[in-house]
């Protein structure tokens, strides 16, 4: 019997890769639902490729309820959640609450409501299978291992387009430069997050919840080649790493196929042509956003994580519009955190209210720049 699948955000970079993986494994998957925010042409093309039964544009009214109803009516086995942004938090939570397994690429949902979503997943017996390449790597490295023997989890970061640029030259960074990621083809928001390296800070927080790991056991290292996606050091001194080409189709295949291994369409790394792997310590003075995120992680407050994430999202939007400079992003985040309440949300509605509150704080700060 085929696995019944839905893809939320089927026209973005992750969603499009998901379409390719599902198509390559059409003997395994049956596609019941595809969504896109407003790209109707791309959605219809994806529907044709996968012969999908239902499509929804999430920019339209009642799309949230329509998605949940289809997931229920069609008894969908797993949802590939490829849509980005903090606005997706409630939908992620409701899919988990619905009892449906989820292959998750939306890091914002875990950063802003990780405690609530993970707790609900445990209550419902839902598997949250990570799709971020780093978390997929951790997931794979932990297979068959016991948590008590983990000494350190290290997430690798490409360092983005400015890994070698001096910190005193950050004031000259423009939008086109920040959108030129050297290794990955991604959406504009996540590409800017990679340029500021807050993306890695968000991933540290995501790892804290996905793997129930203490903050002081999580670390980051810059690895420009993006071949090692993360590694784990154990108490006996052993280190296990996951390697692969920088292609999102691999972690998508791992998540959708679990516990089986399926076709990802990605060739393995050729060690003879790769020749070398480089590892560098991140410069936290230069990448101020990463430093902010690491400090928030250590405070272990989901409320502060929500404030940081909302402020960052507003700042990135403003930078992409040309309203603020690249180096203004961390200062907006710091100003919002200074106003933040450290009391965690008790339910998903409170989490949504906090997101809106901190987005408004950030917008007010940006308007005065």
* 138, 156: one domain: yes
Give the CATH number of the domain where residue 25 resides.
3.40.50.720
List the single range of 76-80, 151-155, 186-190, 311-315 with lowest mean pLDDT: 186-190
In a domain, 207, yes or no: yes
* 71, 8: one domain: yes
* 316, 279: one domain: no
Q: Give the pLDDT mean for 140-157.
A: 97
In a domain, 258, yes or no: no
CA–CA dist 42, 112 (Å, integer): 29
Chain segment 109-138, per-residue pLDDT in tens: 999 999 999 999 999 999 999 999 999 999
Would you place residue 186 in the very low, low, confident or very high pLDDT band (cuts 50, 70, 90)? Answer: confident
Would you place residue 194 in the very low, low, confident or very high pLDDT band (cuts 50, 70, 90)? Answer: very high
* 283, 319: one domain: no
Q: Which residue has the tokens 């499509």?
A: 55
CA–CA dist 253, 29 (Å, integer): 12
CA–CA dist 350, 109 (Å, integer): 14
* 137, 278: one domain: yes
Q: At what angle do helices 89-97 and 348-367 cross, to 10 degrees?
A: 170
Write down the mean pLDDT value for the chain: 96
Report how many domains make up the chain. 3
- For the sheet with 29-36, list strands across it: 54-57, 29-36, 3-8, 78-81, 101-104, 128-130
In a domain, 241, yes or no: yes
Q: Considering 130, 157, 182, which residue would you say is the last residue of a domain?
A: 130
* 287, 305: one domain: no
CA–CA dist 20, 316 (Å, integer): 29
| CB-CB neighbours of 320 under 10 Å | 16
The pLDDT of residue 225 is above 80: yes
* 121, 15: one domain: yes
Q: Give the pLDDT mean for 197-217.
A: 96
The pLDDT of residue 103 is above 80: yes
- For the sheet with 239-243, list strands across it: 218-222, 150-157, 228-234, 239-243
* 96, 60: one domain: yes
- pLDDT given for residue 15 in this prediction: 97
| Closest C-alpha among 277, 287, 117 to residue 201 | 287
| Closest C-alpha among 5, 65, 57 to residue 31 | 5
In a domain, 165, yes or no: yes
Chain segment 266-295, per-residue pLDDT in tens: 999 999 999 899 999 999 999 999 999 999
List the Cα angle 228/233/234 in 5-degree steps: 145
In a domain, 259, yes or no: no
The pLDDT of residue 366 is above 80: yes
- pLDDT given for residue 159 in this prediction: 93
The pLDDT of residue 232 is above 80: yes
Report the largest interatomic distance among the alpha carbons of the chain, rounded to a whole angstrom: 58
Chain segment 302-355, per-residue pLDDT in tens: 999 999 999 999 999 999 999 999 999 999 999 999 999 888 999 999 999 999
* 361, 287: one domain: no
In a domain, 144, yes or no: yes
* 357, 230: one domain: no
Provide the terminal-to-terminal Cα distance of the chain, rounded to the nearest Å. 57
Q: Considering 100, 130, 160, which residue would you say is the last residue of a domain?
A: 130
Would you place residue 183 in the very low, low, confident or very high pLDDT band (cuts 50, 70, 90)? Answer: confident
In a domain, 254, yes or no: no
Chain segment 60-75, per-residue pLDDT in tens: 999 999 999 999 999 9
- pLDDT given for residue 187 in this prediction: 82
* 161, 276: one domain: yes
Q: What is the dihedral of CA 117, 119, 125, 126, to 10 degrees?
A: 20
What is the residue range of 91's domain? 3-130
Is the torsion defined by CA of 35, 36, 38, 43 positive or negative? negative
Q: Considering 78, 96, 130, which residue would you say is the last residue of a domain?
A: 130
How large a percentage of the chain has pLDDT more than 70? 100
In a domain, 256, yes or no: no
- pLDDT given for residue 86 in this prediction: 87
* 22, 120: one domain: yes
Give the CATH number of the domain where residue 342 resides.
1.10.1740.10
CA–CA dist 196, 280 (Å, integer): 16
């Amino acid at each position: 019997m085929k696995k019944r699948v839905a893809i939320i955000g089927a026209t973005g970079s992750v969603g499009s890769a998901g379409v390719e993986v599902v198509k390559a494994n059409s003997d395994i998957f049956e596609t019941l639902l595809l969504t896109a925010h407003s790209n109707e042409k791309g959605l219809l093309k994806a529907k044709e490729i996968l012969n999908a039964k239902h499509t929804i544009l999430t920019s339209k009214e009642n799309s949230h309820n329509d998605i949940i109803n289809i997931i229920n009516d069609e008894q969908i086995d797993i949802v590939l959640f490829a849509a980005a942004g903090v606005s997706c938090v409630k939908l992620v939570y409701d899919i988990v609450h619905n009892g449906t397994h989820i292959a998750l690429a939306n890091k914002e949902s875990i950063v802003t409501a990780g405690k609530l979503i993970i707790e609900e997943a445990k209550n419902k017996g839902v598997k949250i299978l990570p799709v971020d390449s780093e978390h997929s790597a951790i997931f794979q490295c932990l297979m068959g291992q016991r948590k008590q023997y983990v000494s350190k989890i290290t997430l690798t970061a490409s360092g983005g387009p400015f890994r070698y640029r001096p910190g005193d030259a950050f004031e000259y960074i423009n939008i086109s430069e920040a959108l030129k990621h050297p290794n990955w083809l991604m959406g504009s928001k996540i590409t800017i997050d990679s340029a500021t390296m807050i993306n890695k800070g968000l991933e540290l927080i995501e790892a804290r919840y996905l793997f129930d790991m203490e903050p002081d056991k999580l670390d980051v290292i810059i690895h420009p080649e993006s071949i090692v996606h993360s590694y784990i050091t154990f108490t006996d001194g052993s280190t296990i790493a996951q390697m692969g080409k920088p292609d999102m189709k691999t972690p998508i295949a791992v998540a959708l196929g679990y516990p089986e291994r399926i076709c990802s369409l990605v060739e393995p790394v050729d060690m003879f042509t790769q020749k070398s792997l480089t590892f560098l310590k991140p410069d936290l003075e230069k990448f101020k956003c990463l430093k902010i995120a690491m400090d928030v992680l250590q405070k272990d407050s989901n409320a502060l994580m929500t404030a940081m994430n909302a402020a960052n999202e507003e700042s990135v939007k403003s930078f992409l519009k040309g309203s603020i400079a690249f180096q203004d992003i961390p200062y907006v985040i710091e100003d919002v955190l200074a106003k933040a309440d450290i009391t965690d949300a008790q339910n998903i509605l409170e989490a949504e209210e906090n997101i809106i509150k901190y987005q408004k704080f950030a917008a007010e700060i940006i308007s005065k720049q």
